[in-house]
């Protein structure tokens, strides 16, 4: 049913994406699909990496580790966005569309008042990418 899954990740906040990462690994194994982890970085040094090249290396290492741990094929796709706050939504949807996935699985947050004024990254992707989009909330339905 699904052959290519794209999973946007934020390497600064992986702890807030574990549930979406687990769902994407499960879907990849279930459908025998490949996973492409996609992430954005500015061209200037950031808290994750000193350069876009170093960021790309970290993203590739992350993809390889998730694939080895989960038993599926994975690769990485990095793109540069200098204003992550203002431009990420537009460029994220554009980069995902270029990858032509069957399914996008991404972490999301509980909706709040701000969502009436600023749509979520997932909402933007769902309305601008011609693929199925599964938004996974990290803190919903978890016990303990």
According to the model, what pLDDT value does residue 115 have? 45
Reading the block at residue 45, the tokens are 């040094």
CB 38 within 8 A of CB 99: yes
**Mean pLDDT, residues 3-26:** 95
Per-residue pLDDT for 126 more than 80? no
pLDDT for 101 beyond 80 = yes
Q: DSSP readout, 39-80?
A: EEE-SS--SS-SSHHHHHHHHHHHHHHHHHHHTS-EEEEEEE
> What are the chain's domains?
4-137 (3.40.50.620)
Q: In this predicted model, what pLDDT tens digit does every residue of 43-92 receive, in sequence order?
A: 999 999 999 999 999 999 999 999 999 999 999 999 999 888 878 888 99
N-to-C CA span, the chain: 34
| pLDDT mean over 128-135 | 90
Bigger pLDDT: 63 or 119?
63
The DSSP bridge partners found for residue 76 are 37
- What is the C-alpha separation between 100 and 117, in angstroms, rounded? 29
To the nearest 10 degrees (0 to 180), the angle between helices 121-128 and 84-99 is 40
Verdict on whether the full-model pTM lies above 0.85 = yes
């Amino acid at each position: 049913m699904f052959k290519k899954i794209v999973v946007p990740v934020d390497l600064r906040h992986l702890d807030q994406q574990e549930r979406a990462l687990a769902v994407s690994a499960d879907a990849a194994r279930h459908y025998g699909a490949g996973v492409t982890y996609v992430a954005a970085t500015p061209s200037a040094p950031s808290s994750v990496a000193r350069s876009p090249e170093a960021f790309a290396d970290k993203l590739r290492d992350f993809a390889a580790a998730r694939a080895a741990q989960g038993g599926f094929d994975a690769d990485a796709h990095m793109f540069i966005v200098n204003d992550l706050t203002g431009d990420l939504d537009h460029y994220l949807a554009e980069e995902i569309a270029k990858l032509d996935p069957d399914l996008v699985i991404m972490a999301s947050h509980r909706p709040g008042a701000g969502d009436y004024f600023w749509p979520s990254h997932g909402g933007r992707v769902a309305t601008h990418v011609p693929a199925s989009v599964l938004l996974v909330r990290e803190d919903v339905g978890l016990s303990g």
